[in-house]
Structure 1
Amino acid sequence: MALTLQIIGHKKSGKTTLIKDFLMMTDYKFSIVKHTHLPIDIPNTTDTGKFFEHSDDVLLLNNEQMIHYQRNVPMTELEKIKLMQQNTSADFIIIEGIKELDFPKVVLLKPNETKNDFVKITNIKKFVSIQGNKQAEDIENMTKRKQFINNFLKDIQNDR
């Protein structure tokens, strides 16, 4: 079963950048859970958009990818993630957001934020910053970031 971790932080804190670096700076296989508060916008002027608009369950396939879209699924976010953990061939699942879940977390701090801004969040393993916050581990430099990522993944593997 894939080990699961979360990358959280406020908008524009560097979550996408850090997740991309997890994907590119290691030899592990990752699955990603991207949480969004916005609707998924697929123009209804396309065939695909019409299917999404009028169906509760759409599976898009081509030779290289598969996207499964389901609407009105009677499962919690945690249940969906547990299902993914059981069915993925990845070594790790990275969840972007959904800070209410209790997986090991990396919190990205923006320059004017403090650790106290996240006092109600559980299972925080590390506070980091790619924007120069003095209260967090500085991973602005790519060498430091790669070292942080590898150490963090080893740490959560050891915590199993």
Structure 2
Amino acid sequence: MATTFQIIGHKKSGKTTLIENFLTMTNYKYSVVKHTHLPIDIPTNTDTGKFFKNSDNVLLLNDEQTIHYQRNLPSNELKKIEDMQKKTLADFIIIEGIKELDFPKIVLLKQDETKNDFKNISNIKEYVSIQQNSLALDIEDLNKRESFINQFLRNITNDR
């Protein structure tokens, strides 16, 4: 089963950048859960858009990728992630957002933020910043970031 952790932070804190670094700076396999508050925009004037508009399940296939879209699922986010943990071939699952879940977390602090801004969040393992925040581990430098990522993955794997 894949080791699962979360990367959280406010908008423009560097979550996408850090996730991309996890994906590219190591040789592990990852699955990513991207949480969005916005609707997914598929143009309705395409056949795919028409399928998305009028169906609860759409499975898009081509030779290199598969996308499964589901609407009106009866389970909650945690159930969906637990199902993914069982089925994925990945070593790690990175969840972006959904801070209410209780997986180990990395919090990205922006320049003007403090740890107190996240005082009601559970299971925080690291506070980091790629924006020079003195209250968090500075990983703006790519070498420091790569070292942090590798150390974090070792630690979280050993915590299981």
Aligned pairs, number: 160
Match of 1:57 in 2: 57
Unaligned runs of 5+ in 2: none
Match of 2:99 in 1: 99
Match of 1:132 in 2: 132
Unaligned runs of 5+ in 1: none
Q: Write the deviation string for residues 108-158 of structure 1: whole angstroms up to 9, x where unpaired.
A: 000000000000000000000000000000000000000000000000001
Instruction: Confirm whether residue 142 of structure 1 aligns to residue 105 of structure 2.
Output: no
Match of 2:5 in 1: 5
What does residue range 7-156 of structure 1 map to in structure 2 within 5 Å?
7-156=7-156
Task: Give the alignment's TM-score, normalised by structure 1.
Answer: 1.00
Backbone CA RMSD of aligned residues: 0.2
Letter in 1 for 2:63: N
Q: Distance in 2 between matches of 1:92 and 1:17?
A: 17
Letter in 2 for 1:84: M
Cα offset for 1:71? 0.2
Q: Structure 1 runs of 4+ off > 3 angstroms?
A: none
Cα offset for 1:14? 0.1
Same amino acid, percent of matched pairs: 72
SS at match of 2:126: strand
Letter in 2 for 1:124: I
Task: Give the alignment's TM-score, normalised by structure 2.
Answer: 1.00
Letter in 1 for 2:27: D
